[in-house]
């Protein structure tokens, strides 16, 4: 429902609307008490804004205490004492009022501050007689007969008519090593039996399950697949003996017609049988690619929770609002217009940011499965290669929802032409390399219980990419464009992140080499592969050994790269920045680079111009580099340069930082990366090109394997 305050404010906004593209603000709630009262009435719009504010760290108490100092009247016209305001902008003008759609923003303000501090967006779409498909019917539970019916229709429609979804299976006759066979005993109780597909071929397709690991000691002793529980599972158990989450999943799968399920906890040995785990984990790509449907427990924290959630349908279903309208000449339209008001970001919040989708293993499960049924807290949602839908949008997501974020996740499909660029349509293979970079960004933003799984948990994705580009996989990167791949950078933390959270608590280093993004536990990003002639270094040799016979899986310690570039002695000096671990004064070959300009500060999206240093993306944060500076153990290597801009050309350079480990053998580790712009870029290029006199002698003294033709060959581990 929508509260009376929202209806009144919408009407006021519509009355003063002009089709000029401008956003006009209208006072909404003038008191916190009124705002709170609307939330208690279950107002769809006010509740979403309220819930958004409540999860902002330290903001909500400040907001409430600030407004406690003021007691504005509901009739007060002072804009400085408006708690919330509504902005309305037209999304198109076709000459008829009923053809209009609107972009709605509801903003929350601090007292005496007219500028909004937090804003949520909605869309308002006119409903005509033929738009009944925009309206949905919800029941109070996600396990209602209507929900089950809708899920079955999505599955039936996809299996029966979606060419892309049905053509993804690589081998119709392939099955995982083990499956759970679902059936019923003579008392009509649901049973589960673990089968070995080598000896007992399944007669129907199988489904998979995506879940968060969260089991009790009793679960481990009773039902998880171990050498001790194998005889019992192979004989068969009652579904009622399973943890609650899997009882619900199996029940729902059975109702959808699935008779075989693959669940990692019950189909891979979990008692330190490393050979079984390595073999089965290398098959993940096949397990999910060849599955019929994946059921995702989107927000279940542990196995003891239910897959099914009760819900307040009034806060989920997109509400309809009825407003009076006027024609362009000011004359009133006799009949009021009905509008559907909906949240364009719900998919991002309920699917992309669902608890289960923060797990690193889940990314490949989501991408590789041909179709997924998400069980969210509030509703069921469907995702396949050709269609995304939800109970609130049963016939498909509204285009505005798709535009608001990466909703058609599976449409960025590894098996077909992707939508990240037009490169592949022109015969350019770079499109798949760009796709891999995007997948790595998503993957590194997820969590892994064991960092040692970093390469294994994305090996299924790597196998699909490798089959299409025919390139050598190098610990999360690709050999053909490895120089570009090495320019990955850890994302800088948000300014609000506490300083204590920046410094590593675990001093144990990864067994993976420092030159791969997989060696750190932080989100990473990388620019697309392009401008091949602008590289300033070269990879001469790659040395690594795979842990198994799977070249996309884990590697053994000791992997190394032989690089050839120019190493320049560098110092990183502390600054006065509020996050000193991210900003450093940089001195290269005795010359301190000038501080960041206001233009560059805007380019790198920093909050305020900061002249005392530069943002440096370090592999691992540390408070000081005094020891490294004193013993000259930090070296910068200009790695890539480019010019950009229309009219006035600007310079950009990526510079890799290395820390010396073994001077005698010329061995380094990757320390981080930073970028330079304009004047500093030109300065570093000039310094790099100066190979005469003292500079030449200094460069010759830099520890390396070989110094030849003004460049260093060195090893990175």
> How does pLDDT run across 94-109, given as a tens digit for each residue?
444 444 788 899 988 8
Round to whole Å and give the CA distance between 267 and 179. Answer: 6
Average pLDDT over residues 640-653: 81
Average pLDDT over residues 176-196: 95
Average pLDDT over residues 671-693: 86
Angle between helices 44-54 and 59-68 (to 10 degrees): 110
- The share of the chain scoring above pLDDT 90, in percent, equals 54
Note the pLDDT of residue 72: 63
Higher pLDDT, 222 or 189: 189
Note the pLDDT of residue 261: 98
Instruction: Among 523-527, 590-594, 624-628, name the most confident range.
Output: 624-628
Transcribe 350-382 into DSSP letters.
IIITSGGGGBHHHHHHHHHSSEEEEE-SS-EEE
Give bridge partners of residue 714 from the DSSP assignment.
563
Transcribe 183-194 into DSSP letters.
EE-TT--EEEEE
Average pLDDT over residues 213-235: 84
Round to whole Å and give the CA distance between 315 and 43. Answer: 7
* Conformational region of residue 427, where left means phi above 0, alpha means psi within -120 to 50, and beta covers everything else: left
Residue 268: pLDDT over 70: yes
Average pLDDT over residues 424-437: 70
> How does pLDDT run across 346-387, given as a tens digit for each residue?
898 899 889 999 999 999 999 999 999 999 999 999 999 889
Residue 660: pLDDT over 80: yes
Round to whole Å and give the CA distance between 39 and 604. Answer: 38
> How does pLDDT run across 4-59, given as a tens digit for each residue?
999 999 999 988 887 776 778 899 998 888 999 999 999 999 999 998 888 776 67
Higher pLDDT, 334 or 692: 334
Contact 658, 561 (CB under 8 A): no
Note the pLDDT of residue 218: 72
Note the pLDDT of residue 418: 42
Note the pLDDT of residue 96: 43
pLDDT band at 609 (very low <50, low <70, confident <90, very high): very low
Round to whole Å and give the CA distance between 538 and 666. Answer: 16
> How does pLDDT run across 190-216, given as a tens digit for each residue?
999 999 999 999 999 999 999 998 777
Note the pLDDT of residue 503: 59
Note the pLDDT of residue 626: 96
Contact 659, 634 (CB under 8 A): yes
Averaged pLDDT score across all residues of the chain: 85
* Alpha carbon 400 to its chain's center: 20
Using DSSP bridges, classify how beta strands 371-375 and 293-297 pair: parallel, antiparallel or unpaired: parallel
Residue 542: pLDDT over 90: yes
> Looking at 213-365, which runs of residues are DSSP E strands?
237-238, 260-262, 293-297, 320-323, 337-342
Note the pLDDT of residue 193: 97
Q: Which of 296, 293, 389, 300 has its CA nearest to residue 346?
A: 389
Would you kindly state where each structural domain of the chain is located, as residue ranges?
A: 4-126, 145-312+347-411
Q: What is the Cα gyration radius of the chain?
A: 29
Note the pLDDT of residue 531: 59
> Looking at 506-567, which runs of residues are DSSP E strands?
524-525, 538-543, 560-565
Round to whole Å and give the CA distance between 458 and 450. Answer: 13
The pair of structure tokens assigned to 253 is: 């799968």
Q: Which of 435, 215, 159 has its CA nearest to residue 224?
A: 215
Round to whole Å and give the CA distance between 115 and 80. Answer: 9
Q: Which of 294-303, 364-373, 487-496, 564-573 has the lowest mean pLDDT?
A: 487-496
Residue 316: pLDDT over 80: yes
User: Whose structure tokens read 């199996």?
Assistant: 250
Round to whole Å and give the CA distance between 469 and 539. Answer: 20
Q: Which of 117-131, 433-447, 481-495 has the lowest mean pLDDT?
A: 117-131
Residue 75: pLDDT over 70: no
Higher pLDDT, 180 or 574: 180
Average pLDDT over residues 449-459: 92
Note the pLDDT of residue 169: 73
- The share of the chain scoring above pLDDT 70, in percent, equals 85
Using DSSP bridges, classify how beta strands 293-297 and 206-210 pair: parallel, antiparallel or unpaired: parallel
Phi, psi of 160 (to 5 degrees): -95, -20
> How does pLDDT run across 94-149, given as a tens digit for each residue?
444 444 788 899 988 887 655 657 888 899 988 875 455 555 678 989 989 999 99
Phi, psi of 86 (to 5 degrees): -120, 130
Residues in the chain: 717
């Amino acid at each position: 429902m929508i509260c009376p305050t929202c209806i009144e404010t919408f009407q006021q906004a519509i009355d003063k609307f002009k089709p000029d593209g401008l956003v006009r603000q209208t006072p909404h709630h003038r008191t916190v008490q009124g705002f709170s009262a609307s939330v208690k009435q279950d107002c769809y719009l006010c509740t979403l804004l309220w819930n958004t504010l409540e999860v902002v760290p330290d903001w909500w108490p400040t907001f409430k205490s600030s407004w406690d100092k003021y007691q504005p009247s509901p009739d007060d016209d002072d804009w400085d004492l408006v708690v919330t305001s509504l902005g309305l902008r037209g999304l198109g003008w076709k000459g008829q009022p009923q053809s209009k759609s609107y972009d709605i923003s509801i903003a929350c303000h601090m007292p005496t501050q007219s500028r909004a501090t937090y804003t949520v967006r909605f869309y308002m779409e006119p409903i005509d007689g033929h738009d009944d498909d925009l309206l949905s019917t919800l029941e109070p539970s996600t396990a209602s007969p209507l929900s089950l019916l809708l899920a079955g229709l999505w599955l039936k429609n996809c299996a029966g008519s979606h060419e892309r979804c049905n053509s993804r299976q690589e081998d119709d006759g392939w099955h995982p090593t083990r499956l759970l066979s679902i059936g019923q005993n003579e008392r009509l109780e649901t049973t589960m039996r673990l089968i070995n597909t080598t000896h007992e071929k399944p007669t129907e397709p199988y489904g998979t399950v995506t879940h968060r690991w969260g089991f009790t000691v009793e679960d481990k002793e009773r039902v998880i697949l171990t050498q001790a529980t194998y005889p019992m599972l192979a004989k068969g158990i009652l579904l009622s003996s399973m943890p609650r989450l899997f009882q619900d999943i199996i029940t729902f799968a059975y109702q959808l017609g699935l008779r075989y399920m693959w669940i990692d906890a019950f189909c891979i040995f979990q008692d330190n049988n490393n050979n079984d785990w390595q073999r089965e984990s290398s098959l993940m790509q096949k397990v999910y690619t060849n599955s019929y449907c994946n059921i995702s427990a989107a927000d279940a924290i542990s196995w003891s929770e239910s897959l099914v959630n009760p819900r307040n349908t009034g806060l989920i279903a997109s509400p309809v609002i009825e407003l009076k309208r006027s024609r362009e000449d000011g004359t009133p339209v006799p009949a009021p217009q009905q509008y559907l008001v909906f949240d364009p970001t719900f998919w991002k919040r309920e699917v992309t940011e669902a608890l289960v989708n923060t797990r690193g293993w889940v990314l490949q499960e989501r991408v590789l499965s041909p179709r997924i049924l998400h069980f969210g807290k509030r509703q069921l949602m469907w995702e396949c290669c050709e269609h995304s839908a939800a109970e609130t949008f049963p016939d498909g997501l509204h285009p505005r929802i798709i535009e608001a974020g990466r909703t058609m996740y599976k449409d960025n499909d590894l098996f077909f032409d992707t939508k990240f660029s037009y490169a592949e349509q022109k015969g350019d293979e770079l499109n798949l390399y760009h796709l891999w970079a995007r997948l790595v960004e998503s993957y590194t933003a997820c969590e892994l219980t064991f960092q040692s799984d970093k390469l294994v948990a994305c090996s299924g994705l790597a196998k699909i990419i490798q089959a299409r580009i025919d390139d050598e996989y190098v610990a999360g990167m690709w050999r053909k464009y490895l120089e570009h791949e090495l320019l990955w950078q850890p994302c800088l933390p948000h300014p609000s992140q506490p300083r204590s959270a920046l410094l590593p608590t675990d001093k144990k280093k990864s067994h993976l080499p420092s030159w791969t993004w997989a060696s750190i536990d932080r989100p990473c990003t990388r620019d697309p592969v392009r401008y091949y002639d602008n590289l300033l270094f070269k990879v001469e040799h790659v040395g690594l050994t795979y842990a198994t016979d799977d070249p996309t899986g884990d590697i053994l310690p000791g992997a190394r790269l032989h690089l050839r570039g120019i190493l320049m002695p560098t110092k990183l000096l502390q600054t006065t920045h509020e996050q000193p671990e991210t900003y450093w004064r940089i001195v290269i070959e005795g010359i301190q680079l000038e501080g960041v300009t206001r233009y560059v500060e805007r380019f790198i999206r920093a909050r305020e111009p900061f002249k005392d240093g530069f943002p440096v993306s370090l592999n691992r944060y540390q408070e000081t580099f005094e020891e490294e500076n004193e013993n000259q153990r930090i070296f910068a290597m200009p790695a890539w340069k480019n010019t950009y801009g229309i009219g006035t050309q600007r310079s950009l350079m990526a510079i890799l930082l290395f820390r010396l480990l073994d001077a005698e053998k010329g061995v380094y580790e990757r320390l981080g990366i930073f970028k330079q712009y304009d004047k500093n870029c030109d300065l570093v290029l000039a310094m790099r090109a100066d190979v005469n006199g003292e500079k030449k002698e200094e460069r010759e003294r830099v520890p390396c394997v070989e110094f030849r033709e003004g460049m260093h060959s060195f090893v990175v581990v």
